[in-house]
Amino acid sequence: MIKFALAGNPNCGKTTLFNSLTGSTAHVGNWPGVTVDKREGIYKKCEEPVSVIDLPGIYSLSPYTPEEVIARKYILDEKPDCVINIVDATNLERNLYLTTQIMEIDVPMVIALNMIDALEKAGDKIDAKELEKRLNIPVVKISALKEQGLDELMKRAYEASKIERKGETVLGESALKHLIGDVRIALSGQNVENPLFHAVKLVEGDELEVSAHKETLPMIDEFKKTFKDDVFGTDFEALIADGRYKYISGKFSPVLKRKSEAKFVESRSDKADKVITHRVWGIPIFLLVLFAIFHLTFSENFLYLGSIFNLPTLEDAGLINAEGEAINYGVRWLACIYDGAVYSPGVIFNNIWNDMIVGELFGFIQGGVENSGMSEWATGLINNGIIDGVSSVLSFLPWILTLFLFFSILEDSGYMARIAFILDKMFRKFGLSGRAFMPMIMGFGCSVPAIINTRTLADEKERTATIRVIPFFSCGAKLPILTAIAGGIVAYFGVGNADIITYGMYLLGILTAVLSVLIMRGTTLKGETPPFIMELPAYHAPQFKNLMLHLWDKTKHFVKKAFTIIIASTIVIWVLTHFSFNWKYLADEQINQSIMAGISQLFQPIFTPLGFGSQLGEYGWVFVVGAIAGLIAKENVIATFATLGACLVAVAGLDITGLDINSEDGIDAVRAMIQVTGIGVPGLIAYIAFNMTTIPCFAAVATAKAELGSKSRYKLTLLFWLLTSYIVSSLVYTVGSWPWCAVLWAAALAGVIAFIVVRNKNVKIKE
């Protein structure tokens, strides 16, 4: 099959074009570095099917970062039949810099002038015909987003792919061109492919190139001796870059007609940036935005209407009867939205999904199973094991989707890229560049792609440190743990607001990440922090299609996991908690004689300093099982709670009015667990902290192993996760239970930091 490669600067719309051409749903992000690996899809509307490859975004073909290496190797070695060079028309000059380099390779190419819609909206005009004439390469105006001009683009690309093309250089300066020409002829003589491209790179002194063609060095040095530039001396890299820009600005600025000459007028986007990327206010604004998101997602008192206007609860209004049930169907709907105060959108979505849809559906199935006359253990396995487990996980879908809808809006609008920019200065102080922020933020979604995305980090040690802290950015699968326990705390102890607890836990994860990086970069992973250059993408209204794609991806992933890994794990856990060591079936209230109880009680003392060990008594092991099951997939923690919570209700013979344990709700399971084990708020928070910072799920561990490369680094990473989670959660537990412990912890932390500082100073003096 013929192959077309998409190459262009970061954020020029490659992935959008790729998705439009191939009908796939790859992640489109309004920031550089989202596509790290190359991706393939098929375009079917040409005379023959075409394989389209989305390469990572690059600014040049000099390989400073792994992405640049991937893209350059692909074009040179895999020899695509045509390179489609995507050029962001709103940023013509910068984008053409890469174009002038691709042109030097002997490969057919076309230019896709993207974002024409945005350009025209701003009132600017671009003369594609003139550009085509000057470059001697087909140019097609497109809008990847609005899907305009795509067929034309592919037609021209297809035509181009049938004709051989020799590389051309734009470096006009005569002496330099002469030098490059000589090297090119010498390389051609040795039958090197793409002689022009290699000649330019060799003259530039490109590292990859020089090590690949060592034998040509003496010759090139000989040639270079005769050459000296007045401005750049013998800095050939700068000289060549200058040559390219001179060519671009000299010849191509006229192609673009700006609407108004008064370019200095501040655009709306510049005004917004003055506030958003403000030196002092940038970060507080970011924290506020984050809080608003958590409030919109998790708060049960969204508008504070109840407290302000003294509105009646449903019970006061006589809409709920003595059994705590709604008096009619309409009231059930109302109860999803309002009870004395209007719930936040996230909570409303969640209530509707759980009370009106999933709850009804699974309740119906469970009723059927109960009345089917199956044996007691089969009923238990299906109803408590499988259905409660899976449905408790599914019950969190609305919250996950709401939270990610907001995150996607921040990302797609261009806001997140600005946060990376303002955080760069702060990140630098503890040894990371702003570039590391992107994989970290991706970690809020899922650690797996986030860990892969660290390939954008050029420095090996910075990369290792980043991979290690990514799991602390609490992922979507950990969200159920947070919300169920926060909900349990609010419901049982009647303290705090679920949104504040959840927000606080996210911040705790971030803080842990920051401190760990600080310590690692000061000790085992010392090194330079590479500079961070990033172009701020234009603000734009988030695209509905993009948002829906993100959410659809998340839903698919989540539901698929619920029906595979989670079902399998809950079955195993149910069996191990309902059979004794001599394989006798145990009723729910006998779980303490089960295999699972026997094994996990052995581990219970280990967790005592963390607040969920021996002090919880004979049923405390249920928390241990949750944490261990979480190593397979974090959703398992709550699925396990649902299965075991139902048993605990039976154990305690709890009065379950108002505690509807058979509703598919992880929060009720947590309430039962609190009641039976007597765990307090500090222990529960420590439990969340442990799950957030310990070894992540199986998939994330495997990815980290692959990306870290070395075995010893991988083992140390596992140890690091174990240690961190142990330290952080015992800190939370002890300080929460006995606040004076804060002094001890602060002293210990100060000691560690002082030790690092002093040690580093000594090393410097020795040097």
Q: Which residues bind ligand GDP (CB under 6 A)?
A: 8, 10-16, 28-30, 34-35, 57, 114-115, 117-118, 143-145, 412, 543, 546
Q: How far is the CB of 187 from ligand GDP (least distance, A)?
A: 32
**What does the block give as tokens for 122?**
């701003």
Q: Which is nearer to ligand GDP, 180 or 446 (CB)?
A: 446
Beta-sheet pairing, 39-43 with 82-88: unpaired
**Residue 100 touches which of Mg ion, ligand GDP, none (CB < 5 to 8 A by kind)?**
none
Nearest to 112 by CA among 76, 80, 151: 151
**Residue 293 touches which of Mg ion, ligand GDP, none (CB < 5 to 8 A by kind)?**
none
Q: What is the DSSP letter of 530?
A: P
Q: How far is the CB of 11 from ligand GDP (least distance, A)?
A: 4
Q: What is the DSSP letter of 590?
A: G
Q: How far is the CB of 423 from ligand GDP (least distance, A)?
A: 20
Q: How far apart are the first and last CA of the chain?
A: 59
Q: Which is nearer to ligand GDP, 11 or 502 (CB)?
A: 11
**AA letter at 384:** N
**Residue 118 touches which of Mg ion, ligand GDP, none (CB < 5 to 8 A by kind)?**
ligand GDP
Q: How far is the CB of 185 from ligand GDP (least distance, A)?
A: 37
Q: Which is nearer to ligand GDP, 56 or 476 (CB)?
A: 56
Q: Rounded distance, CA 472 to CA 450, Å?
A: 12
**Exposed, middle or buried by CB within 10 Å (0-12, 13-18, 19+), for 726?**
middle
Q: How far is the CB of 98 from ligand GDP (least distance, A)?
A: 12
CB atoms within 10 A of CB 560: 11
Q: Rounded distance, CA 529 to CA 537, Å?
A: 23
**What does the block give as tokens for 458?**
């050029």
Q: Rounded distance, CA 396 to CA 673, Å?
A: 19
Q: How far is the CB of 150 from ligand GDP (least distance, A)?
A: 10
On whether the CB atoms of residues 624 and 600 are closer than 8 A, the answer is yes
Give how far Cα 388 sits from Cα of 376, 636, 642, 664, Å: 16, 12, 6, 6
**What does the block give as tokens for 694?**
């310990």
**Residue 483 touches which of ligand GDP, Mg ion, none (CB < 5 to 8 A by kind)?**
none
Q: Residue of minimal CB distance from ligand GDP?
A: 13
**Residue 16 touches which of ligand GDP, Mg ion, none (CB < 5 to 8 A by kind)?**
ligand GDP
Q: How far is the CB of 71 from ligand GDP (least distance, A)?
A: 12
Q: Which residue, chain included where needed, has tokens 């013509």?
A: 92
3-state SS, residue 48: coil
Q: How far is the CB of 4 from ligand GDP (least distance, A)?
A: 15
**AA letter at 90:** T
**AA letter at 472:** F
Q: Rounded distance, CA 580 to CA 608, Å?
A: 25
Question: What region, left, alpha or beta, does residue 393 occupy, with left being phi > 0 and alpha being psi -120 to 50 degrees?
Answer: alpha
**Residue 30 touches which of ligand GDP, Mg ion, none (CB < 5 to 8 A by kind)?**
ligand GDP
Report 16-75 residues binding Mg ion (CB under 5 A).
Answer: 34-35
**Residue 12 touches which of ligand GDP, Mg ion, none (CB < 5 to 8 A by kind)?**
ligand GDP
Q: Which is nearer to ligand GDP, 396 or 532 (CB)?
A: 532
Torsion of CA 448, 451, 455, 456, to 10 degrees: 100
Q: How far is the CB of 27 from ligand GDP (least distance, A)?
A: 8
Q: Which is nearer to ligand GDP, 116 or 202 (CB)?
A: 116
Q: Which is nearer to ligand GDP, 145 or 420 (CB)?
A: 145
Report 493-552 residues binding Mg ion (CB under 5 A).
Answer: none
Q: Which is nearer to ligand GDP, 230 or 270 (CB)?
A: 270
Q: Rounded distance, CA 9 to CA 7, Å?
A: 7
Q: Which is nearer to Mg ion, 39 or 634 (CB)?
A: 39
**Residue 729 touches which of ligand GDP, Mg ion, none (CB < 5 to 8 A by kind)?**
none
- The binder of Mg ion chosen from 15, 65, 569, 724 (CB under 5 A): 15
**Residue 682 touches which of Mg ion, ligand GDP, none (CB < 5 to 8 A by kind)?**
none
Q: Rounded distance, CA 186 to CA 675, Å?
A: 83
- Residue ranges that bind Mg ion, judged by CB under 5 A: 15, 34-35
